Chains A and B, each alone.
Chain A
Amino acid sequence: MRTLTTRFAGYTILVFFSLLFLYPFVIQIGNSFKTEADAAANPLSPLAHPFTTDSVARIFDGTGFPTWLGNSVLVTVVVTLTRVLFNSMAGYALSRLQFRGRKVLFAGVIALMAVPPVVLLIPKFLVLNQLGMYNSYAGLIVPIMVDAAGVFIMKQFFDSVPVSIEEAARIDGAGVFRTFWSVVLPSARPALITLTILAFQGSWNEFPHTVVAVQDPSLFTLPRGLADLVSGSLGAGNQYPLKLGAALLATIPVAIIFVVFQRYFVRGATEGADKG
């Protein structure tokens, strides 16, 4: 009897918190399909009366959304590919290749991991400006093409893998590059998936960097465009259905990836913390 009560209490707590954590998304979805008056009158209701796709149409027609979406896709694809390649190359070198300066480099990577991104806002702008990269795709993409945390994850991974396969390849006469490309990388699949997902999520959601790298609305990514939309580029009126709809569309890709590759997100979250 007692265990039944505690079990019931346990589930009540769980359901309450699930609602707390998920209901905002339900509200978001529901209100994206409402009229503005309905959204103001019944913000809590998940159902739209009347149901309208008007705001979705206006997102594509009356805002810069298509441009932001295109930019986000471009940035995310390039950044994800380069991060996976460059971070794993560096992680491999720091773990396996013997060269002078390796220890110092690794210490440098660890130190840079601790640099808070927010204090780099003005500094990054200064350098982009000096290099003539401010307000360009290069400025948007190049500074985030590698990340110290990703290098660290790959180095840790390679440290934990036995060297025997590489040795076999070397003995067969493969050079360092060939060994890396056709033996090491294919065997690093789990780490590569984690890295890909973290890079995808990180670059898709990246916001502060876009604030200091570009100013031209045609270079905005989704988060930057959304922020601009919210802080008043629409002019008068709240237009919540439209804003919520745009935010919803920006969330969907990450949500899908999250549901499919959940355990890799979990690995990423605990990996950085465990040894960082």
Chain B
Amino acid sequence: MSSVAGKRGGIRGNERVAGWLFVAPVVLVLGVFMLVPILMALWVSFTDWNGQGSPFRSGVPLAGLDNYTGLFSEDGLARQNFMTSLRNNAYYVLAVVPLQTVLALGLALVVNKRKAFFRTAFYFPSVTSSVAVSVVFLFMFANTGAVNQILSFLGINGPQWFSDPRGVLHLALDGVGLLDSTAPPAALTGHGVLGLTWWDWTSGPSVAMCAIIALVVWTTSGTFMLMFLAALQNLPVQLDEAGLIDGASRWQRLRHITLPQLRPTLFLVLTLGLIGTWQVFDQIYVMSQGDPAKTTLTPAYLSYRTAFRDFDYGSGAAISFVLFLIIVVFTLLQRRALREK
């Protein structure tokens, strides 16, 4: 690297000062608005601070681990809300991650050798404002909106998307006659774990959440398509040609030659998806605010709501840290995979 100044001590010293001056703005802003906040919030999560005055005053009541145990082991509204938000987000992750990955991969494969127009079209939603796009989807999923109109052309009576709290797994089981969702079996409603009944845990994403899932898959697929595309264009063509000469069909070549080579990218897209989907906030804020019946409540939105609506900053911060831990696990997974690559 730069041995430029090596010979002249004066410049070396100069460089040392310059180095720190150059990084000073970044260090200052990232330090004050990322590092310090994390430490401060960690402190607040062990208190019952109500937002008045400084959280470091002597009068602020200490809570110890209460804010955390309230989320996991104490029967009450805090745990019920938190577990509901975890359930909602888990279903959301289970739906969004596979859908966006498959769609992104499929789109990348079809646009790989074709015109740039299509790439632009698929990527465009990803660069627009999440709030602006949420407004459009609210309109499309309105009761008399575009989606329900298309469904009615197909002879389907569309639901009232943003006011229907029913879980789609329950509806599906009801649909095939396995159970009556209006009269759930007592075995499931009578027992439960972590403050929710088994019946609540097994609901599946609500109808309302499905609209948000559709929106998010639509906006994120373009970005992940680009990642697959970048990987596809770096693949050596010889392997594919060898397969062609050996008489492998298009599908066989995809299955046995292309996909195995895309494995690192696939892993990357999956882990980035897992990291991103646990952070869903904007769309919830704009479209549903956690309603109906808390079925679109997610930990990120719940932490915001707990702090800024209920002024329970301690619990809000505690929820943030639990969410932080969840995301850190997936980030570490991703880092490991990248190192192997």
Could you list which residues of chain A lie within 8 angstroms of chain B, going by C-beta atoms? 6, 10, 13-14, 17-18, 20-22, 24-25, 27-28, 31, 39-41, 43-44, 82, 86-87, 89-90, 92-94, 96-102, 105, 108-109, 112, 114-127, 130-131, 142-143, 145-146, 148, 151, 163, 166-167, 170, 175-177, 180, 201, 204-205, 207-208, 211-212, 222-224, 226-227, 230-231, 238, 240, 243-244, 246-248, 250-251, 254-255, 258-259, 262, 265-266, 269-270, 273-276
Residue of A nearest to B328 (CB): A114
B58 within 8 A of A: no
Interface of A is mostly: helix
Q: A118-B300, A127-B40 are in contact. List 19 more A-B contacts (CB 8 A).
A: A10-B110, A14-B114, A27-B136, A112-B34, A112-B35, A116-B324, A119-B300, A122-B313, A130-B40, A130-B54, A166-B2, A170-B4, A176-B18, A205-B128, A207-B282, A227-B131, A230-B286, A243-B135, A262-B120
Interface string of B205-227 (1 = CB under 8 A from A): 00000000000001000110011
A258 and B37 contact, Cβ closer than 8 Å, known pairs A43-B140, A99-B15, A243-B139: no
Chain A: minimal CB distance from B151 (Å): 11
Contact between B128 and A254, CB atoms less than 8 A apart = yes
Interface string of B32-76 (1 = CB under 8 A from A): 111111101100100000000011000000000000000000000
B181 within 8 A of A: no
Return chain A residues, CB-CB under 8 Å to B227. 269-270, 273
Residue of A nearest to B298 (CB): A118
Residue of A nearest to B118 (CB): A14
Residue of B nearest to A10 (CB): B110
Report the interface size for chain B: residues with CB under 8 A from the other chain. Answer: 100
A175 and B14 contact, Cβ closer than 8 Å, known pairs A13-B110, A118-B300, A126-B40: yes
| 184-230 of chain B: CB within 8 A of chain A | 218, 222-223, 226-227, 230
Partner of B18, one of A20, A86, A177, A265: A177
CA distance A262 to B119 in the complex (A): 10
Residue of A nearest to B40 (CB): A126
Return chain A residues, CB-CB under 8 Å to B321. 119
Partner of A121, one of B16, B22, B223, B320: B320
Q: Nearest 6 pairs between A and B by C-beta? A: A99-B19, A123-B37, A93-B22, A123-B41, A97-B19, A143-B33
B297 within 8 A of A: no
Contact between A265 and B129, CB atoms less than 8 A apart = no
